Chains A and B, each alone.
Chain A
């Protein structure tokens, strides 16, 4: 496992261990297997969506529509399950990804081919998609007793003792780590973010790849929408409110450059886990609720600073090694 961690990620890893140890001083049960399992379960969706977000940020873009996309897909599949309980689960999963893909595709089309700045476009769709949630639901929500057991088991169930959520996470992580590192398109995604003009000069189809990146982000948050609604057994109008900022934070903590061109799946997983640990710890250690947000923000800043220093250090070491 340690071998998998790159050097700069390793320092973030150490920092997470350090923070966890400090928390366990005050709350010994924090470091038990069951609590860690809970943290991971709470963080899985964040990890999945942050990986999509990371891909977008690597191309020097941003996707602010992820939370609204989660809510809209979640509401759609929730309603679908409520009114047509007969639809088989695998088909529901497929539908959630199709809806998400359509939402992401709309972002991608206008960003890549109409040159609308990503932050403007996704800020717009953030509002549009959230608006559609209300239109669809008519202001009400789908609650637990209106969902089938099979639907709730998508996130809640186990296979061979392993929670389904973990299996979804493992598949997404493996798939995208492979996609980004071992495929042509993955390499070209990094190239675009690193230097768009330079990528054009070597014949990279910049527009097409930008489109794909938003499309994929959509597919991912579509699936995440389904997982979310299934896990909490309710589809609400304010599902995942503000979640887009958490995905961006996970990326930044994990060392993804907001200017594009660099970032790794391992880093993002660690970034998301760090967020999960902080939120969990603040709840279980009985920190005054009035203080929670401020402390969380403070810890996030420290994590980013630690990672920035680690990054600078590896860069410096590389330059020092330089042979003239």
Chain B
């Protein structure tokens, strides 16, 4: 007890920022449940957790985008609140996001000083000379070689990140948050970025580093905090923890009980992909898909999973390799051909790729098979109603009428419309890209149960997922990708979360 008090007393001076018992609910759903977080100046602190663990919510609270429902935020030991993003910025907190929010047509200088320009002494006209000079200084200080006058649109993703960092410095940020800064960078760019992060550390900035890639975390960070399902799991110095311990903290639950997968007798090879390659995107992808199999694809964002399946479905093309259906080589030039061959793709982003929100439920469900049910050129309304009802009921879509616009449905029901529209194509091979992303637990369970039933009927499923428990719970076989190549394959009963994470972060190359 005494030691606790003394640590709190000492913390007052040493922590630049402290979050205590932060709680945040969204419509009654817990996003953060009593999370603690502390960081010192000159410290690189890794924030670790699976998707949905609560990392981004925590960042958004720190940057004033969300307000916590309870808990305290302390800066330099003093209680503060951030009613707006602007307020958080004024207090010296800057976030560099995955998707950078910049003005592509404007120059580096203009972007850096957007929102806080240097003015001339008359307080009206802008002092571009001073801004240019300041930009050069900051660039030099960090050893970045970049033309301050070039437009953002001409810069690479890596260079844009650097500009964001310079912008943070121009705001005199003391705490810099980096959310997956390396996800779109090459090896060399990552190394360059790390040197700059180390430079910031030397200058006494506190850096919150969020990454899925544990190897990078161990390379750059000093300490860690692990979140899981909105809970604080643990924190400490990285040299006192092993990779395996960290993974255990991240995953930490027995996943197999959550997903009651129906055991299905697997049949013959339905689809085979041989050495599929596309320069710079993926390389040498080979796998077999059996009748009634659920094949899980796991990998981090940017590992090339979605690109592979987009290629198989005929949306993107490829450089070399071969796709075989029932042992025969086929050429899938566009989605219509894929659908004719019995392949269906349920895309990841339902609002952007999966649905026509303004259209009715019935119209959405029948859109992919409109050729099949139309009487030559004319629509077949009774048939449409019949099909919409059949699949709507099968998937238990909760709607007042099949004639309602899809945009009036809740997210989970929208996802069910996406599923039913592809099931209506009567596929032999169903590709699901993040089938349960962003939907509630109840619908999630329904989707999983449904996948099991489809497999039982002999439909082969390729499931892409970033959620480890889902992949491990649902798949007969698991393929793990990292930076465009397959790094590991597991059978259902051989897979452990540790091995999968290792393969997905590129720590082991099994092949």
Interface size on A, residues (CB 8 A): 30
| Chain A residues, Cβ within 8 Å of B421 | 202
Contact of B354 with A201 in the complex, beta carbons under 8 Å: yes
| Chain B residues, Cβ within 8 Å of A96 | none
Contact of A318 with B353 in the complex, beta carbons under 8 Å: no
Chain A residue at minimal CB-CB distance from B440:
A324
Q: Which residue of the partner chain, among A182, A199, A201, contacts B347 with CB atoms under 8 Å?
A: A201
| Chain A residues, Cβ within 8 Å of B399 | 322-323
CA distance in complex: A190, B335 (Å)? 19
CA distance in complex: A223, B68 (Å)? 64
Contact of A198 with B371 in the complex, beta carbons under 8 Å: no
Chain B residue at minimal CB-CB distance from A321:
B400
B315 beta carbon closer than 8 Å to chain A: yes
Contact of B352 with A195 in the complex, beta carbons under 8 Å: yes
Nearest 10 interchain pairs by C-beta: A203-B336, A194-B356, A318-B408, A203-B335, A261-B358, A202-B368, A321-B400, A194-B358, A323-B398, A195-B356
Chain A residue at minimal CB-CB distance from B398:
A323
A187 beta carbon closer than 8 Å to chain B: yes
| Chain B residues, Cβ within 8 Å of A201 | 315, 335, 345, 347, 353-354
| Chain A residues, Cβ within 8 Å of B359 | 190-191, 194, 261
Contact of B355 with A182 in the complex, beta carbons under 8 Å: no
Q: Report the minimum CB–CB distance from B399 to chain A (whole Å).
A: 7
A319 beta carbon closer than 8 Å to chain B: yes
Q: Report the minimum CB–CB distance from B168 to chain A (whole Å).
A: 33
A184 beta carbon closer than 8 Å to chain B: yes
Pairs across A and B, CB under 8 Å, 25 listed: A182-B379, A184-B371, A184-B378, A185-B377, A190-B356, A194-B358, A194-B359, A195-B355, A198-B353, A198-B355, A199-B367, A200-B335, A201-B354, A203-B335, A257-B358, A261-B359, A262-B358, A315-B408, A318-B400, A321-B408, A322-B398, A322-B400, A322-B408, A322-B410, A323-B399
Q: What 9 new A-B contacts, CB under 8 Å, besides A203-B336, A322-B400, A324-B398?
A: A183-B378, A188-B370, A190-B356, A203-B339, A204-B367, A262-B358, A315-B408, A322-B398, A323-B398
Q: Report the minimum CB–CB distance from B311 to chain A (whole Å).
A: 14
A197 beta carbon closer than 8 Å to chain B: yes
Contact of A199 with B356 in the complex, beta carbons under 8 Å: yes
Q: Report the minimum CB–CB distance from B141 to chain A (whole Å).
A: 43
Contact of A198 with B352 in the complex, beta carbons under 8 Å: yes
Q: Which residue of the partner chain, among A185, A191, A262, A321, contacts B404 with CB atoms under 8 Å?
A: A321
CA distance in complex: A311, B354 (Å)? 24
| Chain A residues, Cβ within 8 Å of B470 | none
Contact of B377 with A184 in the complex, beta carbons under 8 Å: yes
Q: Report the minimum CB–CB distance from A175 to chain B (whole Å).
A: 13
Contact of B352 with A187 in the complex, beta carbons under 8 Å: no
Q: Which of A153-201 contact B (CB under 8 A)?
A: 181-188, 190-191, 194-195, 197-201
Q: Which of B364-389 contact A (CB under 8 A)?
A: 367-368, 370-371, 374, 377-379, 381
| Chain B residues, Cβ within 8 Å of A187 | 363, 367, 370, 379
Q: Which of B335-357 contact A (CB under 8 A)?
A: 335-336, 339, 345, 347, 352-357
Q: Which of B296-325 contact A (CB under 8 A)?
A: 315
Contact of B410 with A200 in the complex, beta carbons under 8 Å: no
Contact of A202 with B378 in the complex, beta carbons under 8 Å: no
Instruction: Give me the interface of A with B, judged by CB distance under 8 Å.
Output: 181-188, 190-191, 194-195, 197-204, 257, 261-262, 315, 318-319, 321-324
Chain A residue at minimal CB-CB distance from B374:
A184
| Chain A residues, Cβ within 8 Å of B345 | 201
B334 beta carbon closer than 8 Å to chain A: yes
Instruction: Give me the interface of B with A, judged by CB distance under 8 Å.
Output: 315, 334-336, 339, 345, 347, 352-359, 363, 367-368, 370-371, 374, 377-379, 381, 398-400, 404-405, 407-410, 421
CA distance in complex: A185, B371 (Å)? 10
CA distance in complex: A97, B315 (Å)? 37
Q: Report the minimum CB–CB distance from B69 to chain A (whole Å).
A: 23
| Chain B residues, Cβ within 8 Å of A181 | 379
Q: Which residue of the partner chain, among B334, B347, B356, B358, contacts A203 with CB atoms under 8 Å?
A: B334
CA distance in complex: A318, B409 (Å)? 9
| Chain A residues, Cβ within 8 Å of B354 | 198, 201
CA distance in complex: A96, B205 (Å)? 73
Q: Report the minimum CB–CB distance from A143 to chain B (whole Å).
A: 44
Q: Report the minimum CB–CB distance from B293 to chain A (whole Å).
A: 24
Q: Report the minimum CB–CB distance from B487 to chain A (whole Å).
A: 29
* Residue from the set A200, A257, A324 with the largest chain B CB neighbour count within 10 Å: A324
* Residue from the set A200, A202, A204 with the largest chain B CB neighbour count within 10 Å: A202
CA distance in complex: A190, B363 (Å)? 10
* Residue from the set B345, B356, B398 with the largest chain A CB neighbour count within 10 Å: B356
* Residue from the set A191, A194, A199, A203 with the largest chain B CB neighbour count within 10 Å: A203
Contact of A200 with B315 in the complex, beta carbons under 8 Å: yes
Chain A residue at minimal CB-CB distance from B340:
A203
Q: Report the minimum CB–CB distance from A223 to chain B (whole Å).
A: 22
Contact of B378 with A182 in the complex, beta carbons under 8 Å: yes
Contact of A318 with B405 in the complex, beta carbons under 8 Å: yes
Chain B residue at minimal CB-CB distance from A194:
B356
CA distance in complex: A195, B354 (Å)? 9
Contact of B379 with A184 in the complex, beta carbons under 8 Å: yes
CA distance in complex: A249, B371 (Å)? 35
| Chain A residues, Cβ within 8 Å of B404 | 318, 321
| Chain B residues, Cβ within 8 Å of A198 | 352-356
| Chain B residues, Cβ within 8 Å of A183 | 374, 377-379
Contact of A261 with B356 in the complex, beta carbons under 8 Å: yes
Q: Which residue of the partner chain, among B353, B367, B405, B408, contacts A197 with CB atoms under 8 Å?
A: B353
CA distance in complex: A187, B345 (Å)? 21
CA distance in complex: A246, B111 (Å)? 41
CA distance in complex: A316, B437 (Å)? 26
CA distance in complex: A202, B347 (Å)? 10
| Chain A residues, Cβ within 8 Å of B352 | 195, 197-198
Chain A residue at minimal CB-CB distance from B373:
A184
Q: Report the minimum CB–CB distance from B376 to chain A (whole Å).
A: 9
CA distance in complex: A10, B381 (Å)? 24
CA distance in complex: A187, B374 (Å)? 11
* Residue from the set A191, A201, A323 with the largest chain B CB neighbour count within 10 Å: A201
Chain A residue at minimal CB-CB distance from B350:
A198
| Chain B residues, Cβ within 8 Å of A203 | 334-336, 339, 368
CA distance in complex: A119, B261 (Å)? 53
CA distance in complex: A315, B352 (Å)? 20
Chain B residue at minimal CB-CB distance from A323:
B398
| Chain B residues, Cβ within 8 Å of A195 | 352, 355-357
Q: Report the minimum CB–CB distance from A32 to chain B (whole Å).
A: 40
Q: Report the minimum CB–CB distance from B393 to chain A (whole Å).
A: 14
| Chain A residues, Cβ within 8 Å of B363 | 187, 190-191
* Contact A323/B378 with A187-B363, A195-B357, A201-B315 known, Cβ cut-off 8 Å: no
| Chain A residues, Cβ within 8 Å of B381 | 182
Chain B residue at minimal CB-CB distance from A202:
B368
Q: Report the minimum CB–CB distance from A262 to chain B (whole Å).
A: 5
Chain A residue at minimal CB-CB distance from B337:
A203
CA distance in complex: A112, B385 (Å)? 32
CA distance in complex: A191, B371 (Å)? 14
